Amino acid sequence: MVGTDVRVLPAGSDGLLAEVADLDEALALFASLRDAPPPGVWELVPAARTVLVRFDPALTDAETLAADLRARSLGHLATAEGPVVEVPVCYDGADLDEVARLCGLDPAEVVRRHTAAPWTVAFTGFAPGFGYLSGGDPALDVPRRSEPRTAIPAGSVGLAGRFSGIYPRASPGGWQLIGRTGLALWDLRRADPALLAPGMRVRFVDVGPDALADPDPGSGSGAAATATLVGQPALEVLAPGPLTVVADLGRPGRAAQGVARSGAVDRQALRRANRLVGNPSGAAALEIAAGGLEVRALTDLVVAVTGAEVEVELELDRAFALGPGDELHLGTPARGMVGYLAVAGGVAAEAVLGSRSTDLLSGVGPPRLQVGDVVRVGRASESAAAVDPDPGPRLPSADELTEVDVVLGPRDDWFAPEVVDRFLRQEWTVTPRSNRVGLRLDGEPLVRSRTEELPSEGTVPGSVQVPQNGLPVVFTADHPVTGGYPVIACVARHHLDRVGQVPVGGRIRFRAVAAG
């Protein structure tokens, strides 16, 4: 069948969401694009009924790419049956009784139907090692929770729509939880970190509570803080502040594996800090949320601080030297939310999947910094010369309104026109529940005009997702790569850094712009 029924929707400034009729067509379209990618396409994320296509606007344009997507063949994709992985489950999930009520069954019958036959890993996403399992009993078709949980334990087994899945690590999520397993779904110590891959089959086995060990979340690898090597430049952490992590420019192109790009929330501020100390612009540095970092130099170092306007002994946006024993204290930001401490030579954390960045959602990369950590630093080039870049943009403060450009869609049609208009007109407040995964906003809730479940689909940085409680979440650096709530708009590429700098209590008003 020729893809005349492919519906193409905007997904921010550099993404398109290709929607087809069902899972088989989505996998066929993904295979076609994977085997013969259009010019400029750098990432594909298959999902239940869609393929997210990310592209470089300098190499192609959305109109040309959309025409290519509509012309693709959606012929049947033959798949061989993969191996069966047995998953031991204790069926004591917090939502088991609610799932039984929604299905018109008793809890024991829910368990029986969930374990009756193998499921198939259709695709992966959301988080590393998370497989979307299809082919289960149709009676177990249940909606997601009206409000997603902020933390779900590793190993939790859930249902959403016609899919089942297992959370590889503690993370937010809106699936209905029916049980838990002790298997490690994602472990970087294995040659293939993911236990489940597309095409595999999964058989759930009811083993009761006493047969399970505590879930092993696997190895995030890449600790930022290790014992310093003799003579190697290093910093000691005296106080990490609310949150300090390692950040570079991230891991592009791995979303189909469930690994977000991650990296710096304010990419331009990171680049400026690195230029000041003579590093390559994407070198790893420390990202500090809400200030409070205190460090001591263990050797001679050249450092620079950019981003959030914090109280600091030396001038922001300038390189300066620290000698052994010198301390640097960063105060609470007066403007902005995240700052960057770059060190000549770069932070020498272990690279994981091509990046030194911390990803809080997936657990990939170095852990967040703690008191007493020693941060190793690479050796700076003797020829490196600090460059004084242009000053960064004026950052928002907690008592200001920040205007943020967005591209409407891909799912703005899930809301009545007057609701979309209210989304754009009202002032939204950033709540304390915000983090590197997303900014959680407060305001007058948005009511959908469509109430059915949205099958999981790929998301981009800056996606403004609206869960059933109607309060938007703006995805930031460590966002899930797929989600099951409608995205009313996506932050335009030129404002991704800006939105990540809005502090808690700050207000945001969205403004619709064209995708280009």
Angle formed by the axes of helices 96-103 and 107-115, nearest 10°: 90
Distant-in-sequence, close-in-space partners of 310: CB < 8 Å, separation ≥ 6: 288, 291, 316, 330, 331, 332, 333, 334, 339
Q: What is the dihedral of CA 269, 271, 277, 280, to 10 degrees?
A: 170
CATH of the domain at 23: 3.30.1360.40
121 forms beta bridges with: 133
**Is there a single domain that holds both residue 425 and residue 369?**
no
The yes-or-no verdict on residue 218 having pLDDT over 70 is no
**Is there a single domain that holds both residue 113 and residue 161?**
yes
**pLDDT category, 262, cuts 50, 70, 90?**
very high
| % of the chain beyond a pLDDT of 90 | 70
Average pLDDT, the chain: 90
For position 390, what pLDDT does the model report?
72
The number of domains in the chain is: 4
The yes-or-no verdict on residue 485 having pLDDT over 60 is yes
Identify the burial level of 350 via C-beta atoms within 10 angstroms of its C-beta, where 0-12 means exposed, 13-18 middle and 19 or more buried.
Answer: middle
The yes-or-no verdict on residue 389 having pLDDT over 80 is no
Average pLDDT over residues 226-238: 73
Q: Which residue, among 366, 6, 449, has the nearest Cα to 188 in the 3D structure?
A: 366
Which is more confidently placed, 232 or 1?
232
Dist CA 160 CA 129 (whole Å): 17
For position 54, what pLDDT does the model report?
96
Cβ distance 458 to 482 under 8 Å?
A: yes
**pLDDT category, 225, cuts 50, 70, 90?**
very low
Residue 67 is assigned to a structural domain of this protein: yes
Structure-token match 């594996």, residue found = 257
Alpha helices in 3-61 (DSSP H): 23-35
Dist CA 407 CA 206 (whole Å): 46
**Is there a single domain that holds both residue 409 and residue 508?**
yes
**Is there a single domain that holds both residue 127 and residue 56?**
no
Residue 38 is assigned to a structural domain of this protein: yes
The yes-or-no verdict on residue 224 having pLDDT over 60 is no
462 forms beta bridges with: none
Dist CA 331 CA 355 (whole Å): 28
**pLDDT category, 38, cuts 50, 70, 90?**
very high
pLDDT tens-place string over residues 418-440: 999 999 999 999 999 999 999 99
**Is there a single domain that holds both residue 265 and residue 158?**
no
**Is there a single domain that holds both residue 65 and residue 92?**
no
Cβ distance 461 to 476 under 8 Å?
A: yes
Residue 76 is assigned to a structural domain of this protein: no
CATH of the domain at 429: 2.40.100.10
Alpha helices in 332-471 (DSSP H): 417-425
- The residue length of the chain stands at 516
Residue 166 is assigned to a structural domain of this protein: yes
Which is more confidently placed, 198 or 410?
410
CA separation, residue 396 to residues 132, 270, 283 (Å)? 39, 17, 26
**Is there a single domain that holds both residue 126 and residue 260?**
no
**Is there a single domain that holds both residue 147 and residue 243?**
no
Residue 227 is assigned to a structural domain of this protein: no
**pLDDT category, 469, cuts 50, 70, 90?**
very high
Q: What is the dihedral of CA 80, 86, 87, 88, to 10 degrees?
A: 160
Residue 264 is assigned to a structural domain of this protein: yes
For position 507, what pLDDT does the model report?
98
**Is there a single domain that holds both residue 66 and residue 102?**
no
**pLDDT category, 148, cuts 50, 70, 90?**
confident
Helix %, strand %, coil % of the chain (to 5): 15, 30, 55
The yes-or-no verdict on residue 84 having pLDDT over 70 is yes
For position 138, what pLDDT does the model report?
94
**Is there a single domain that holds both residue 51 and residue 120?**
no
Q: How large is the greatest C-alpha to C-alpha distance in the chain, in angstroms?
A: 71
**pLDDT category, 382, cuts 50, 70, 90?**
low
Residue 257 is assigned to a structural domain of this protein: yes
The yes-or-no verdict on residue 313 having pLDDT over 50 is yes
**pLDDT category, 28, cuts 50, 70, 90?**
confident
Cβ distance 44 to 31 under 8 Å?
A: no
End-to-end alpha carbon distance in the chain? 31
Average pLDDT over residues 153-162: 94
Structure-token match 């990419």, residue found = 267
**pLDDT category, 79, cuts 50, 70, 90?**
low
Residue 383 is assigned to a structural domain of this protein: no
The yes-or-no verdict on residue 230 having pLDDT over 70 is no
Average pLDDT over residues 106-133: 91
Dist CA 309 CA 333 (whole Å): 5
The yes-or-no verdict on residue 373 having pLDDT over 80 is yes
**Is there a single domain that holds both residue 252 and residue 170?**
no
Range of the domain at 465: 401-512
Q: Which of 25-29, 140-144, 226-230, 506-510 has the lowest mean pLDDT?
A: 226-230
